[in-house]
Amino acid sequence: QQQQRVPNTEVYLQGSVLKPFTEFLLTRLRGICDSPGDEFRDQESVFTCARHRLRLRWSLLHPHLPAYLRYLGIPESADHRVMSRAAYEVPVFPLDAARQLVEAMGFQHEFDFIAEGTVFRRGLLKVTVYRVRRLLGAESSLVEVSGLGPSSLTAGMVESVLSVRDQLKSLVLLAKHDQKAPKA
């Protein structure tokens, strides 16, 4: 029973929008979402251990907020219309202790990136439009529509994700992107 309440499943779709059209997309999102959109600039450290990854993410704009430690499972497409994956998210504080904990668990730091953009909320869903800093040659913003919740709510969230996709169809193509790790 407890298991049914823990938010452990994430359903999502991704796409990207070229720089000149980002403002169109943001205006449309302001229209269809509950919140007017919040700016964010987050840094994310990724740690790895035997093909598992842990992601530690914290806000650079609001350093007093707790960081988030996330585990993301392997993407699968049980529902053929959206991607889904297991996802666990816990707030951790302070940051240094979290980093030490992750390293003590045997994870090694792999890479860091900074994401900068806007986040919107619509019901249980989160819509993010952001650029990845220090990435050469990509002038686009990544667009992500995702819902994280207990598996009992997954069916409803799939429908909402699809409805957002349809409403944004003329501006951005949100699709399933199942990326495999390139072989080294």
Partner 1 sequence: MADPFQHQQLAGREGGGGNRGSDDCLDELIDRLRGIRRTLCSLIAKVDEKRPATWPEILNCLAECVSQLSALHRTLRNEKQLRLNDFALLPIGLSPQLDQHLLNHTEGRLGLLNHDSVPHYLRTKLDLSVEHRRNEFQKSSTNIEAQPRTSEQMRKAAETALNSLKQARPDFENEQSERNQTMRSNEQDTAKLLLAINFGIGLN
Contact 73, 85 (CB under 8 A): yes
Residue 145: CB minimum distance to partner 1, A? 14
Rank residues 23 and 103 by Cβ distance to partner 1 and give the closer one: 23
Rank residues 49 and 173 by Cβ distance to partner 1 and give the closer one: 173
Rank residues 93 and 113 by Cβ distance to partner 1 and give the closer one: 113
Collapsed DSSP state (helix, strand, coil) of residue 166 = helix
Rank residues 35 and 151 by Cβ distance to partner 1 and give the closer one: 35
Burial of 67 (0-12, 13-18, 19+ CB in 10 A): buried
Closest CA to 47 of 38, 56, 39: 56
Q: Which residues contact 166 (CB under 8 A, 6 or more apart)?
A: none
Contacts to partner 1 by CB under 8 A: 14-18, 21, 24, 27-28, 30-34, 44, 46, 110-113, 115, 132, 134-140, 142, 169-173, 177, 179, 181-182
Residue 55: CB minimum distance to partner 1, A? 9
Residue 9: CB minimum distance to partner 1, A? 19
Residue 134: CB minimum distance to partner 1, A? 6
Q: What are 9's two structure tokens?
A: 């499943």
User: Which of the 8 DSSP states describes residue 183?
Assistant: P
